Amino acid sequence: MKFNWTTIPQGWNASLNQDGCAVSSNITRTGDADRFESLDLGIDLGAALTADSAVMTGAPAMGTWMRIFAPETFGLTIRAKNWMLVRISKEDFILIAIASWRIFSGEILFRNGDVTVRFYGDGHRFTPGETAPLEQLFCMRGSSERALLDAYADYLAKFHAVRLNLRSWRGWGSWDYYAIKFNDRAIRENLDELQKLTSNANLLQIDDGYSLWGDWMDIKPEVFPEGLDSIVKEAALRGLETGIWLAPFLAEADSQVLKDHPDWFLRKPDGSYVPAWTGRVIFDYSNDEVVAYLRRCIRFFRNAGITYLKIDFLRAGTLSGLGKVPMSAYERFHRCLSALREEAGADCYILGCSAEFAPCIGHVDGMRVGPDISPKFEDVRKSAHCCMASAHLHRKVYQCDPDYLIVRGEGMEDAEVSPSSGKHSTLTHSEAELWANFAVMTGNAVLSSDKLPLLSHDRKNLVAAAFQRASENTKGYYVLDYWHEIPSMIWADGELGVFNWSDSEQTFTLPGGTSLKLPAHTSRILEKFAWDGKQIPVAELPPLPATPTGEPFDAADALPLPLGPEGHEPLATNHETGEGLLDGAYVPVQEQGTFLGVPFKVGAQIITFTMGEPRKSIRIPVGRKVRELYFLHAADFPVKGEWLSYILHAADGSSSEHVLLMGRDIGNTDYHYSLPWTSQTARIAWVEPVTSRTLYVQKLVLDAETDLESIEVTAPRRNGTHVLAGVSTR
């Protein structure tokens, strides 16, 4: 591919630098104008279009999906906000993608094979002679569209220094059934039923309705008469964390914050407010006072015990307007989300919603990718279409959230449901099951949002089954038939999901050539689906993780480590029972043998520690160079759908977070799988030592030897679980 500037406004200079797939550029003010409207970068694809050519554009925001354009449309201008995939032939693809959204917005234009990237000035003002970076591009050619999109997602994660939070959520949310008409009694009623259905729920999500927009700290007494912190404490006693909804960019016309601070909001050139949805106004985050107010609101929620924030209507933050300080919309957007993240803390899970996806990268942990779900099949189909457009981003730049799990059918509602016709269900059992299967395979959150006591027995079983499967869903997923109007096959972690979105019976050709016939509006999950990554109908995907081998956990894989610190006396420890362990103690292996049933070589060294209170963290000093680590977790009984979180803190101040997953019954065999947050492979062993404890083992190989200062470990949530963990270091 070749790049050249085709349009540069007078009084401006632009430069360009290409480094592999990455293309960076700068713009410099040389004239009198302090703002530019737009400039164009032309891209020569270096390939001629064929009869098999097509263009696909990515989904830029919640509720959007990939669009496919056939050759007969190439005479029109095709536009993409984030990425465009040009299929030259069946095994030749070119990806042109925007990879940053710091100051300026942009779009990709295609017409008759000519490609242009257009950058917009968006009101950013330059001082004389000032140079600013234009937005980064990522351009790549290859034989697999999936591989190109995966590479793009990897680049986004690296460029934006994404720190993944791979929490998995299961619980109940107030929005879909109750909308803004709920109270603490409704919450308790549903949580009571939730606890009858499952023992592994971990989240209560409180949605809109508890305050006026903008007046986030003024909790309505009719919703929570005893205050927000009261329901948070009650949820905690049930083993649930609490999340809350807010729209940080918007305030209602009759809100107190607008009455008290009319100068805190964006205006048009005529002095009127920039309009948002239904008469609401938009906060001006170029104003330091507005940023400080947001911080106070987030601090209020955190002090009440909130550990999860659902931040909605983020698209309002990308609208143009005049603020106190001249800034582009993206600059104001980043000031808002940076302050919100800093005040919330790294341990608070942030879900973006109703957002333009791109500028949220690096700020949020999860992203709603589908539109608001409703209990009607047409909306279920639309939501699924939108979700699959973001498959390549899932568990790479953030976790994708398809929206609530709703399974209610006709007659499973009462007078409290919204009068809106969209809230009244027409879902059949098979349609509800299809959505449950899809949501579990494609997202990290399975939150019921029906009125649970009113569900029929079979619909309650759908919820319980979804919660159990969701606790075991730990990976990203592949869409197999990208170029279909609505893709129908998904592969994830050994399961193949086949979904018939059509209104008639369909026959699907599975990887390997097998046929599967499905009635309309039904789905089928094929477990332990063996697939070599090549026998697929459209494009070649990356190889699958290896299947279970059944080989023993061999001592040759254990680590040859030095003995303990100088002067350290070996502990009188029973390596089979763990008796005599001390927190932070080094246990040297004097001869080849086992530690809690796991073999280690001579010279292996175990840092041992015990953990008590669920979800509490401890920090264990290491003070040595590390390349390979083992993490051991012993429990008095098998733990389903749980995890042990640990953060590696290097001596240079950097850190990385990892998770030991404990959600699979894999028998007395080893299970190999690729972790979604690292290119390395973990090895999980399920063994039964003489103590009758269940033991989980994870091996982690770092990319390079690291001077490790300490390891921060967070215990699982399960009350009563005895935790004994060890870290083996080099």
pLDDT at position 716 over 60: no
pLDDT in tens, 23-50: 999 999 999 999 999 999 999 999 999 9
- Residues with Cβ within 8 Å of 34's Cβ and at least 6 positions away in sequence, in order, are 125, 126, 127
**Spatial contact of 162 and 362, defined as CB atoms under 8 Å apart:** yes
Overall average pLDDT of the 449-463 stretch: 95
Q: Which of 720, 726, 658, 714 is nearest to 689 (CA)?
A: 726
Burial class (CB in 10 A: 0-12, 13-18, 19+), 181: middle
- Rounded Cα distance, 156 and 393, in Å: 9
pLDDT at position 436 over 90: yes
- Rounded Cα distance, 316 and 281, in Å: 9
Overall average pLDDT of the 656-681 stretch: 37
Q: Give the per-residue pLDDT at 77.
A: 87
pLDDT at position 171 over 90: yes
Q: Give the per-residue pLDDT at 330.
A: 96
Architecture of domain 169-470: Alpha-Beta Barrel (3.20)
Higher pLDDT: 504 or 642? It is 504
> How far, CA to CA in Å, does 478 sit from each of 217, 376, 494, 496?
42, 26, 11, 10
Helical (H) or strand (E) element with 267: none
Which two three-digit tokens encode residue 462? 């759908």
DSSP, collapsed to helix, strand or coil, labels residue 87 as: strand
Instruction: Give the confidence band of 362 by pLDDT, cuts at 50, 70, 90.
Output: very high
Overall average pLDDT of the 2-29 stretch: 95
pLDDT at position 682 over 80: no
**Spatial contact of 523 and 549, defined as CB atoms under 8 Å apart:** no
Output the pTM of the full model. Answer: 0.73
pLDDT in tens, 574-600: 333 333 333 333 444 333 344 444 444
Which two three-digit tokens encode residue 553? 């956990």
What phi and psi values does residue 328 have, to the nearest 5 degrees? -75, 165
pLDDT at position 105 over 60: yes
Q: Give the per-residue pLDDT at 510.
A: 86
Q: Give the per-residue pLDDT at 671.
A: 28
Question: Out of 225-234, 363-372, 478-487, 606-615, which region has the weakest mean confidence (pLDDT)?
Answer: 606-615
Q: Kindly write down the DSSP assignment for every residue of 162-231, as one continuous string.
A: -------EEEEESHHHHTT---HHHHHHHHHHHHHH-S---EEEE-S-SS-TT-TT---TTT-TT-HHHH
pLDDT in tens, 256-278: 999 999 999 999 999 999 988 77
Start and end residues for every CATH 3.20.20.70 domain found in the chain: 169-470
Q: Which of 111, 102, 94, 109 is nearest to 152 (CA)?
A: 94
Q: Give the per-residue pLDDT at 450.
A: 95
Q: What is the average pLDDT score of the chain?
A: 80
**Spatial contact of 478 and 447, defined as CB atoms under 8 Å apart:** no
Higher pLDDT: 205 or 708? It is 205
- Rounded Cα distance, 341 and 178, in Å: 29
Question: Out of 102-106, 483-487, 589-593, 700-704, which region has the weakest mean confidence (pLDDT)?
Answer: 589-593
